[in-house]
Amino acid sequence: MSGVAVAPSASAARAPECNVQKAVVERPGPAVRGSVRVPAVGTWQYSVLYCSLLWGDSGTGVATLQATLNHCYGRNLEVDGNFGDLTRTALKYAQGRAGVAQDGVYGPNTRDRMAHWSGGAYCARIA
C-alpha cells in the first residue's frame, strides 16, 4: 500500500506500563522534606519514570497511584493494584486539580503536575 498513511493505534503510541514504585526527591525548594513515591517502569533497583497507567492495568505501579490518590486527593480507593473505573474517576479528579487534561490516563504530563504521596505525612510534586 504505497502512499497510504496509517495512524498508529493508541496502544502503539503508549509509554511502557508503570510496574514498580520509585522514591524521587520532591521538587526543589526552600523546604524540601524528602522523597515521594512515584510509579515507574523497570525493576526495584533500576527504574525510570517515563511510563503510563490506564484502565485495565494492574500491579505495583497502579497500587502506588491509588495510594497517592487516597492520601493526596482525598479519594477512598481500595489499594488493590487494579486500574478500574473507580481509579480512573479518581485520577480524572486529580488531573483536574493539577490543571491537566482529565483523560484518566497517568502519563508524563500528569506525573509532573500532580502531587505524589511520601508514604508518610505529606504530598509533593516532583517537577
Residue 6 pLDDT: 43
Give 13's pLDDT tier (boundaries 50, 70, 90). confident
| Residues 86-116 pLDDT 10s | 999 999 999 999 999 999 999 999 999 999 9
Residue 14 pLDDT exceeds 90: no
User: What is the pTM (predicted TM-score) of this model?
Assistant: 0.85
Give the number of domains in the chain: 1
Q: What is the CA radius of gyration of the chain?
A: 15
Q: How far apart are CA 76 and CA 55, in angstroms?
A: 18
Give 26's pLDDT tier (boundaries 50, 70, 90). confident
What DSSP assignment string belongs to the chain?
Answer: -TT---PPPHHHHPPPBP-EEEEEEPPPSTT---EEEEEEEE-SSSEES--BB-TT-BSHHHHHHHHHHHHHH------SSB--HHHHHHHHHHHHHHTS---S-B-HHHHHHS-EE-SSS-EE---
**Domain, as residue range, for 84:** 10-124
**Domain contains 98:** yes
Cell, residue 79? 489499594
**Domain contains 3:** no
**Domain contains 1:** no
**Domain contains 87:** yes
Residue 66 pLDDT: 98
**Domain contains 96:** yes
Residue 1 pLDDT: 46
Lowest-confidence segment of 2-11, 31-40, 86-95, 97-106 by average pLDDT: 2-11
Residue 75 pLDDT: 98
- CATH number assigned to the domain comprising residue 14: 1.10.101.10
